[in-house]
Amino acid sequence: MFLHSLIVKFVVQESGILTKIESHDPSAFRDLFDMYHQMVFNLCFRMTGNRQEGEDLTQEVFLKVYQSLNNFRLESKLSTWLYRITINHCLNQQMKKKRQRWLSLEFVMESESDVKNLSLVTTKNNPDIVLEQKETELIVQKCINSLPAKQRIAIILHRYEGLSYQDIADVMKCSVASVESRLFRAKQNLVLKLRPYLKDL
């Protein structure tokens, strides 16, 4: 019941903003910023792994939103439009300046039991590999960073933003089947890339 109330409230708020956009109400941008600022920041932070960079990108995204608000097509959801602008801006910036991103290894496996079964290759199995926790994180980051952009975006939107396959498809302008395929291939690629450092996969 509580969740339903939140959803209804969200829909009503977004509808109000859309009405203001349609009538060119100057307060539309302020309302949009108040409602979606945290969402945009969260996505920027997850795309970069750096809080300060995430804050800077958030400001840049909303500048783009402000400049293009009058061009917004009312047939799509505001959140979908904002996700698309945010992702495109983050990717463009990452192409100019590569940054390490911190993301969890947990989504590679389907269940907690799978994660618990993972263990690092020991020096007994491979004397040349001595991994500490910090080094492990760097390896995971490197593997995630090496994923194709579409696979990386699909993972972030699904696992961290909690978007449904249909919403991800709307954001990425593709079919639901394509979203499922990208998530499946991303998991396969990560397991393959991490295999030299893990046993009992």
Over the Cα atoms of the chain, what is R_g? Answer: 20
Residue ranges in 49-175 assigned as alpha helix (H)? 51-68, 78-96, 112-117, 133-145, 149-155, 165-172
Q: Which long-range contacts (CB under 8 A, 24 or more apart) does 93-96 make?
A: 93/57, 93/60, 94/47, 94/48
Among 100, 89, 80, 88, which residue's Cα sits nearest to residue 161? 80
Q: Decide: pTM greater than 0.75.
A: no
- CA–CA separation, 78 vs 97, rounded Å? 28
Give, to the nearest 10 degrees, the angle between helix 176-194 and helix 165-172: 100
Q: What CATH number labels 2-96? A: 1.10.1740.10
pLDDT of res. 72: 82
Residue-by-residue pLDDT tens, the chain, 201 positions: 544 454 445 556 777 788 888 777 888 889 999 999 999 999 998 888 788 999 999 999 999 999 888 778 777 788 899 999 999 999 888 876 654 444 445 555 444 444 444 444 444 454 444 445 567 767 766 777 788 899 989 988 887 788 999 999 999 999 999 999 999 998 889 888 888 876 544
Fold of 106-199: Arc Repressor Mutant, subunit A (1.10.10)
Paired sense of beta strands 119-120 and 198-199, if any: antiparallel
Which sequence spans correspond to the domains of the chain?
2-96, 106-199
pLDDT of res. 168: 94
